[in-house]
Amino acid sequence: MSPACPACGHAGCRTVAYADGEICLCPDCRLQWSRVAWRGDCFVPTDNLRYLDPDSLGNAASYPPYTRFFQRLAAVAQASGPLRILDIGSGGGGFVAECLRRGHDARGVEADESLRSMQPPGVLERVRFSRVEDVADLGGPYHCITFWDSFEHMEGAFALLGRLAPALEPGGVFYLRVNNSRETFNFLSLAMLGLCPPVGRRLLRGCFNLPHHAWNFSRRAMELLLNRHGFRVLSASFDETPASRLTASPAFALAIRAVYALNALLGTGKVGNYFVVPAGALPEVSRRATTNS
């Protein structure tokens, strides 16, 4: 049966079926979401180990997604002192390590025990290896709770925000770094679904990252879903993951950079960065984060 869009309510969304699940496509708000029988026993696909290795960041101090993140919260840190940060799905521990290097207080929660051995020095004792839903005491309060490429793995992601919100400092913010459906690779996948379905299906599967991802968001879909769950977007921006972090192959890196160049022309990117707050009054930390942009 054709599903209704969980963001905008559009009835009869298209589905693209695979042996292990299906990708649903909303033609209205452009949300894409998956329905699968089994997403795997951990969040970490083995083909993403390069991405999870902190060494893939190169020099983490100048890794562009990190520098943009800390720039965004610079005014908060200036007013409040070192930031308290909780990283959900902390992976190889690269972001927690960078927080510590910058003098902030950071902790992580990671569902995949196999990533213990990958943690940089000083990080292991700050990471709880558990599903976040199973952690009774998350500590805090935190200035910021981050999801670096983990939010789109979780079917219950929006309900989880509600559960985590009490661990935010009054005025604290969530940061979600997630896939963006409004970009060249996705447009190409959808076009090929019509022109050459076998190729289109393959491209869409790779672009979406089935079965590991539960969501691929457009900005509008993200805003609608957050609003439905009692949150709102404070700011959104779009950028890319440096190609060198995704592949060791020069030819593949060239193809990735070509897609990035087209995205730049279109004013978009494969990755969306969302700062999110509970709906309601504009709180102090989020006000500073806004005026810092």
State the residues that interact with Zn ion by CB under 5 A.
5, 7-8, 10, 26, 28-29, 31
- Which of 86, 224 has the CB closer to Zn ion? 224
- Which of 29, 73 has the CB closer to Zn ion? 29
Helix orientation angle between 184-195 and 250-266, rounded to the nearest 10 degrees: 100
Q: Taking the C-alpha atoms of 218, 51, 69 and 224 in order, what is their torsion angle to the nearest 10 degrees?
A: 20
Name the minimum Å distance from CB 31 to Zn ion.
5
Cis omega (within 30 of 0) on the bond before 64?
no
Name the minimum Å distance from CB 218 to Zn ion.
8
Cis omega (within 30 of 0) on the bond before 211?
yes
Q: Taking the C-alpha atoms of 274, 175, 159 and 133 in order, what is their torsion angle to the nearest 10 degrees?
A: 150
- Which of 150, 218 has the CB closer to Zn ion? 218
Using a 10 angstrom Cβ sphere, with 0-12 exposed, 13-18 middle and 19 or more buried, the burial of residue 280 is: exposed
The phi, psi pair for 241, rounded to 5°, reads -85, 125
Name the minimum Å distance from CB 215 to Zn ion.
12
Name the minimum Å distance from CB 208 to Zn ion.
16
- Which of 32, 241 has the CB closer to Zn ion? 32
- CA-wise closest residue to 32 among 248, 193, 236: 193
Name the minimum Å distance from CB 11 to Zn ion.
10
- Which of 29, 100 has the CB closer to Zn ion? 29
Structure tokens at 256: 């990735």
- Which of 112, 183 has the CB closer to Zn ion? 183
Contact 220, 30 (CB under 8 A): yes
Name the minimum Å distance from CB 30 to Zn ion.
7
Residue located via tokens 């981050």: 146
Name the minimum Å distance from CB 8 to Zn ion.
3
- Which of 8, 100 has the CB closer to Zn ion? 8
- Which of 20, 28 has the CB closer to Zn ion? 28
Structure tokens at 201: 């299906």
Name the minimum Å distance from CB 185 to Zn ion.
20
CA distance 185 to 268: 11
CA angle 176, 179, 183 (to 5 degrees): 130
